[in-house]
Amino acid sequence: MRVLRILLEKEFRQVFRDPAILRIIFLMPIIQLLIMPLAADYEVKNIKLCVVDFDRSSYSQKLVNKIAATKYFQLVDYTDSYQKALIYIEKDEADLVLQIPSSFEKQLVKEDQATVFMALNAINGVKANLGGAYLRSIIGDFNREIRLEWLQFPRLSPQPTIQVSAINWFNPLMNYQVFMVPGILVILVTMVGAFLSALNIVKEKEIGTIEQINVTPIRKYQFILGKLIPFWVLGLIILTIGLIISWVVYGIVPAGNVFTIYIFAAVYLLAVLGMGLLVSTFANTQQQAMLLSFFLMMTFILLGGLYTSIDSMPPWAQTFTKFNPVSYFIEVMRMVVLKGSSLYDIRNHLFIVFVFAVVLNSFAVWNYKKRS
């Protein structure tokens, strides 16, 4: 016990004496939490619209005005041919072309129906898909309005209709930041934990102090614990800074209990640090450790469900995410912060991450060799 205390004293001294680490600890949360959520706004809005109106009737005009008035669309220009409109798309100056046929109003009145045509730049599939759906629903609204206007008297037996109403739970304002910020917090805690712990032991290897430690009667588990605990504490400090920033800047207060987050984070950090330590037992130079953890982190984070939902991944990727601790924490974070899930709700996640922690750390202790 005393040995452990001595080890911890030394690690903490070194950490708090290293300006690079301190900078990372305080700057990373601020940069990531202040800039990332601003940049990572996936909400589909500001769709640039180019209109080719061959009809030029009052109704075609009304339709265009209605579309341009919504927050989703931004009217870029009117052109007189589809070819010209396509150039806008090629130059990325428009995302969507709406073409209204020349006899739009006439057809609608005489033949009871008319067709408008739209072409979307679909390189970004999500944007095209949702943009198309928005435009359709605006046109549907417009359709209903003119129907009401033109059918002065409702028919005697109106159509039986099913109305669909949608309610958005947990994030009623559909705020993208509420979705991203908890996820970014996870990334933050993960990166700091994994990178710092991986680099730390390798640094002792490079400068040679590890030899001096290895000739002492210190036990492996003492040494590993001595490395683990400081970064575990740092991880929790960063989590706290992050939670404060997301409260002050974004007004995000966890719907669930904050202690649920801390309990999960405490176990999760053990798993992440175990991974960092494992990397450090494999690498001989800081460059290798850095590259290796970077590679792992990138894979874990991209497949962690931060940017795209795990449900839409193919089966092999979904299987992989079952072994990805990051995805569990992201899910838990969103559950607790947004939905107010309790410790009981996340019991399975907690158990699985606990198993990761045990396996990774045992492996790290086993793979750390005092003697070659």
Partner 1 sequence: MKQFLFFVQKEFYHLLRDRRTLFILFGMPLMQILIFGFALTNEVKNTRIAILDNSRDETTAGIIHQLEASRYFDVVKNIRGYGELEPAFQEGKIKLAVVFPSRFQYALSHENSVSVQLIADATDPNVANTLANYATAIIMDYQKNMKGQQDFPYTINTEMRMLYNPQLKGSYNFVPGVMAMVLMLVCAMMTSISIVREKEMGTMEIILVSPIVPIRVVIAKMVPYFLLSGVNIGSILILSVFVLDVPIQGNLVLLVSECLLFTVTVLALGLLISSVTDSQQTAMLISLMGLFLPTIMLSGFMFPVENMPWPLQILSNIVPAKWFYYIVKNIMIKGLSFGYVWKETLVLTGMTIFFMLVSIKKFKTRLE
Partner 2 sequence: MNDDHAISVSQLTKRFGSFTAVDAVTFNVKRGEIFGFLGANGAGKTTAMRMLCGLSFPTSGQATIAGFDLYRDAEKIKKSIGYMSQKFSLYEDLTPRENIRFYGGIYGLTDQQIKSKTDFMVDHLHLENQVDNLVKSLPLGWKQKLSFSVAMLHQPKIVFLDEPTGGVDPVTRREFWMMIYEAAHEGTTVFVTTHYMDEAEYCDRVSIMVDGRLDALDTPLELKRKFNAPSMEEVFIQLARKAKRSDN
Per CB under 8 A, which of residues 195..214 are in contact with partner 2? 207-209, 211-214
Q: What are phi and psi for residue 105, nearest 5 degrees? A: -65, -40
Q: Among 115, 209, 216, 367, which residue sits at the site for partner 1 (rule: CB under 8 A)?
A: 115
# binding residues, partner 1 (CB under 8 A) = 104
Q: Are 54 and 101 in contact (CB under 8 A)?
A: yes
**Under DSSP, is residue 51 helix (H, G, I), strand (E, B) or coil?**
strand
Of 302-321, which residues contact partner 2 (CB under 8 A)? none
Q: Which is nearer to partner 1, 257 or 362 (CB)?
A: 257
d(C-alpha 154, C-alpha 25), whole Å: 67
Which of partner 2, partner 1, none does 371 bind, CB closer than 5 to 8 A by kind?
Answer: partner 2
Of 43-72, which residues contact partner 1 (CB under 8 A)? 43-46, 48
The span of 6-14, 33-41, 218-226, 237-245 binding partner 1 (CB under 8 A) equals 33-41
**Under DSSP, is residue 173 helix (H, G, I), strand (E, B) or coil?**
coil
Q: Which is nearer to partner 2, 155 or 371 (CB)?
A: 371
Q: Which is nearer to partner 2, 21 or 332 (CB)?
A: 21
Q: Among 58, 83, 152, 159, which residue sits at the site for partner 1 (rule: CB under 8 A)?
A: 159
Q: Residue 60 carries which side chain, given as an amino acid letter?
A: S
Q: Among 217, 312, 314, 344, which residue sits at the site for partner 2 (rule: CB under 8 A)?
A: 217
x-or-dash pattern for partner 1, window 134-153, by CB under 8 A?
Answer: -xxx-x--xx--xx--xx--
Q: Which is nearer to partner 1, 199 or 234 (CB)?
A: 199
Which of partner 1, partner 2, none does 334 bind, CB closer than 5 to 8 A by kind?
Answer: partner 1
Would you count residue 291 as binding partner 1 (CB under 8 A)?
A: yes
Buried b (16+ CB within 10 A) or exposed e, 203-223: bbbbeeebeeeeeeebeeeeb
- Name residue 51's beta-bridge partners: 78, 98
Least distance in Å: CB of 4 to partner 1? 28
Q: Tell me the CA distances in angstroms from 322 to 146, 256, 312, 340, 351, one per residue in order.
A: 52, 24, 14, 23, 13
The span of 244-252, 268-276, 313-321, 356-364 binding partner 1 (CB under 8 A) equals 313-321
Which residues make Cβ contacts (< 8 Å) with residue 248, sequence separation at least 6? none
Buried b (16+ CB within 10 A) or exposed e, 298-337: eebbebbbbeeebeeeeeeeeebbeebbbbbbbbbbbbbb
Would you count residue 240 as binding partner 2 (CB under 8 A)?
A: no
Which of partner 2, partner 1, none does 46 bind, CB closer than 5 to 8 A by kind?
Answer: partner 1
Q: What's the burial of 156, exposed, middle or buried (CB within 10 Å: 0-12/13-18/19+)?
A: exposed
- CA 244 from chain centre, in angstroms, equals 19
Binding site for partner 2 (CB under 8 A): 2-3, 5-7, 9-10, 13-14, 17-18, 207-209, 211-218, 370-372
